[in-house]
Amino acid sequence: MKWLFVILSALTAVAANAQTVGSKSLEQQRKALLTEIESNKQLISDNDKSIRSGLNQLNLLDQQIQTRKRLLQVLEQEMQIIDRDINSKELQIKELEQQLQVSKQQYEQALQQLYKQRRYPEKLLFILSADNFSQSFRRILYLKKYSSWQYTSSEKIIAQQQQLHQEKQELIAAKADKERLSDVKRNEEVSLQKEEKRQQTQLNTLKSNKRKLQEEVEKKRKQAAALEREIARVLKEEIAKSEKAAKQNPSVARKAETPGGYAMTKEEQKLSSDFASNKGKLPFPLKGNYRIVRRFGERQYKNITDSANELKGIDIQTTSGNTAKAVFDGTVIVMRVPNSSLFVIAIRHGNYVSFYSLLNEVYVQKGEHVKTGQDLGKIYVDNGAAILHFEIIKGTKDYQNPELWLKK
């Protein structure tokens, strides 16, 4: 029985350690998701009821619902870990109670047996009554062993009682944690139902204004297409300038990564290599409260219309007055949005270019060398929604998924 208890205790300890690591990781995820939900609430409340803000709000609600669902999954996983912990604790308590009972019985039986067999009330008399010195010495050793056994047995019983008490307290705490998480889960399920209902109401409202909606979507589609053409024109112009510079100053070695690409100096080649080595480590292109509302490759407003472009970057909604920031060192290319007073800032990082739009104020100049984290300009607020569109292009046409480049 004893060996079985030792094995069960060892296995329980290993499982408990693994569960503790998993539980801490899930707790961190839960806190991050709750923070994200609270952040998104503020962004949703910033939108008014116009068609354009309605579109932004619909995207925010969709993101909020997805985050809420991920939170519910994390809560469910946490509760499963606690359930396993509770079952393990109950098994361990049962085993400890059995061990404690056996120890008490053995101790009691030993004392009873000793009491029945004793013939001398005093230990000294027991030793002196020996027939010879050898017997007296053996009796001394016997009394020492008995005294040591008595002390060890009592200490063992005390330790078992303390461990049992600790396990019971931990079981009570685990059950309290489960109840607390159950309350959080119930509240989140209610919030999810409300948000899904609100999303459907918003969707129905937008669909009832289909004509205005189609006009707005078409306007955004044309704006995106015009911006894409402007980007292509600027990149082509950059390549032409690099080729011209190579011809005018052949002493400065220039090299393009691909035929017909941007011809880079040695300094630009190093910058390009440094940029590439920082994939997944770049800072976000803005600070403060923000949320990605549309992701790379997504079709805009997919829930309500088919006439929309696939996104070649990401859209980040933030609070009014926020500024765009450079994600890496580079050289500025300032572009004006066609038929608009707004701006796009492009920063060349060797063979890579990062784009920041739309901005209504610009804090840098064309040709200026900027550093990572430097303010570039104020993000344009369109009907209450401040949305930064961010892209990364390798070469001239290889659009990258920005989320893979940004630090999580």
Task: Let me know whether 150 and 259 are in one domain.
Answer: no
Number of residues written out for the chain: 408
Instruction: Give residue 310's pLDDT.
Output: 77
Reduced to 3 states (helix: H, G, I; strand: E, B; else coil), residue 256 is: coil
Q: Can you tell me the distance from the alpha carbon of 350 to that of 330, in angstroms, rounded to the nearest whole number?
A: 8
The CATH number for 316's domain is 2.70.70.10
Looking at 174, 208, 242, the residue that finishes a domain is: 208
Task: Let me know whether 33 and 87 are in one domain.
Answer: yes
Task: Let me know whether 336 and 264 are in one domain.
Answer: yes
Task: Let me know whether 204 and 218 are in one domain.
Answer: no
Task: Let me know whether 181 and 102 are in one domain.
Answer: yes
Ordered per-residue pLDDT tens for the chain, 408 residues: 444 444 345 444 444 454 555 667 777 776 666 666 666 665 555 544 444 556 677 777 787 888 888 888 888 888 888 888 888 888 888 887 887 787 777 767 766 665 555 544 555 566 556 677 676 667 667 666 666 666 676 677 777 777 777 888 888 888 888 888 888 888 888 888 888 888 788 777 776 766 776 677 777 777 777 888 888 888 888 888 888 887 888 878 888 888 888 999 999 999 999 999 999 999 999 998 888 888 898 765 555 555 456 788 999 989 889 999 999 999 998 887 777 788 999 999 999 999 999 899 999 999 999 999 999 999 998 877 888 999 999 988 899 999 999 998
Nearest Cα residue to 343 out of 225, 231, 232 = 231
Instruction: Give residue 120's pLDDT.
Output: 46
Segments forming the whole domain that contains residue 353: 214-405
The CATH number for 152's domain is 1.10.287
- Provide the domain count of the chain: 2
Strands 381-382, 330-336: pairing is: unpaired
Task: Let me know whether 154 and 247 are in one domain.
Answer: no
Looking at 208, 223, 241, the residue that finishes a domain is: 208
Task: Let me know whether 267 and 355 are in one domain.
Answer: yes
Task: Let me know whether 181 and 322 are in one domain.
Answer: no
Instruction: Give residue 252's pLDDT.
Output: 82
Instruction: Give residue 113's pLDDT.
Output: 61
Task: Let me know whether 226 and 278 are in one domain.
Answer: yes
Helix, strand counts (H, E) of the chain: 7, 11
Instruction: Give residue 399's pLDDT.
Output: 93
Nearest Cα residue to 350 out of 241, 268, 245 = 268
Looking at 155, 186, 208, the residue that finishes a domain is: 208
Task: Let me know whether 73 and 160 are in one domain.
Answer: yes
